[in-house]
Structure 1
Amino acid sequence: MTSSTLAQQLREAKHVVVFTGAGASAESGIPTFRDALTGLWEHFDPAKLATSDAYRGDPALCWGWYEWRRQKVVRAQPNEAHRAIAEFAKRVPKLTLVTQNVDDLHERAGSQDVIHLHGSLHSPRCIDCGQAYTLPLTSDALPEDGSRIEPPQCSACGGYVRPGVVWFGEMLPEDAWSSGLAAAEKCDVFISIGTSGIVYPAAELPLRALGHGATVVHINPERFNISSREHFLQGQASVLMRGLLTEAFGDPLVTECFVE
């Protein structure tokens, strides 16, 4: 499928689903789990820090890891892909945005009602009683190479506060998952951005859309295997999404000028 063909389908679509993964935020400088880590974190497997057992075993290490990640997000800015998605929502009758990312870059770009399948770094809660933690998190600048940080404690039960993300071995939030599935089954066009579709159950969404007759398009800088019924646009999400917006609706984003 060419970008022109996809642009035509977007003009005609009644319901578009955009599904984003880590690659959509990587262009904003947010490290993915596959990126090489530095400093304190180079000695640890991120996947082994993202479990309930790891957190209970060493709360200061795991909280420090997630605060390091959250600070990366705080300093980052939405990229052109985030802004283009928000702009698409103004051009099509209905757009549902589903993300695997735990940052808030979509919201800061202007998207509303984002479905977060894997939770958010900005929604901590008690690991024992589940009560939301609403006090401000530390705003102190953290060392670039990371550090151990003692987590705050829950005001209700005294338990440690944990990041509001979905850890390995945990179920996805029921409401978010149900909403994502329903949107996938009802959309005309499903655009998957920055995710290779290997993490289940989230990876089921494009397959569910395909099974219900939607056009499924993957946007990624690196090609991976897809079925003969799916489509692939290879390149940076920021470039391709801005180009699609312009081609489909003839109204390019207003962006900052960059001096070469």
Structure 2
Amino acid sequence: MKIVILTGAGVSAESGMGTFQDENGLWTQVNIEDVATPEAFARNPAKVHALYNARRSNCLKAEPNAAHFALAELQNSRHDVTLVTQNIDNLHERGGGTDVIHMHGELMKALCASCGAVWPAPEAMDKDDPCPSCGKPQTRPDIVWFGEIPYHMDRIERALSECDLFVAIGTSGAVYPAAGFVQMADAFGADTLELNLAPSDVQSAFAAHRYGPATEVVPQWVADMLGDPD
């Protein structure tokens, strides 16, 4: 079976990575326009770097959870699994996931805004850091900010057009284009399933649903897919 899985912040929340909807989380303390747009970086790169340095430090302290491990197990099974994530953390990889498609970029990578070079990010980045390729002080996090085009869309859309099952896990369904993947998969004839803590904004577009913490519902679903009675 060909499966496309989309994961969002809810997969990593139980590992200590905050979500946009956390009542007292990081994103309630800052304005998106001040830290997560190209314009914000142009206005105040030091402020943007400070935020992502804090997020990177948080990511390094976090550990993959049962949902990450279960999805890695599914990837290593007889099924053909394309794993797409909106998350910028590396918990899928640290949980054993392979060939993870990071459509919103990766926190642990740096990008030169001048020449486009990409390299492993240090834990703390600074606005004066030179690009190792061109030498210009144009280093930014390799993150897709609001107003920018997500990465790997051609590959994702091709996988959606060919899959038998599309599963969205831990995503609010509030951010496009990812929120539209269920309609795309459905239009190509795939079955659709939502695994989430609560119904998403696009829950009515899914054929089936399972609700609960990711560390519970994801391993249970994977066990069912692998034919494990436990």
- Shared topology, TM-score over 0.5? yes
1:165 maps to 2:151: no
- Which of the numbers 203, 214, 228 marks the counterpart of 1:226? 203
1:241 aligns with 218
1:192 aligns with 168
1:82 maps to 2:68: yes
- Structure 2 residue runs of 5 or longer lacking an equivalent are none
- Distance in 1 separating the partners of 2:206 and 2:21: 28
1:211 maps to 2:187: yes
1:137 aligns with 122
- Distance in 2 separating the partners of 1:252 and 1:230: 23
Check the 8 A contact 1:242/1:252 in 2, yes or no.
no
Check the 8 A contact 2:67/2:214 in 1, yes or no.
yes
- Which of the numbers 114, 117, 126 marks the counterpart of 2:100? 114
Deviates most, 152-161 or 57-66 = 152-161
Identity %: 37
Q: How does 1:18-97 map to 2 (within 5 A)?
A: 18-35=5-22, 36-37=24-25, 43-97=29-83
Deviations 1:55-78 (A, max 9, x none): 111111100100100111111111
Q: How many residues align?
A: 227
Check the 8 A contact 1:133/1:154 in 2, yes or no.
no
Q: What is the deviation of 1:105?
A: 0.6
1:7 aligns with none
Q: CA RMSD in A?
A: 2.3
Deviations 1:196-253 (A, max 9, x none): 2221112221211111111111111112353365221111111011112333435489
Deviations 1:155-210 (A, max 9, x none): 4242231000101111112xx11111111111111110011222111222121111
- Greater share of strand: 2
The TM-score, its normalising length taken from structure 2, stands at 0.89
Select the structure with the greater relative contact order (CA < 8 A; seq sep ≥ 6). Answer: 1
Q: Against the structure 1 CA distance between its residues 237 and 199, is the aligned structure 2 distance closer, same or farther, given a 3 Å change threshold?
A: same
Larger Rg: 1
Check the 8 A contact 2:57/2:123 in 1, yes or no.
no
For 1:33, the aligned partner's letter is F
- Distance in 2 separating the partners of 1:27 and 1:92: 28
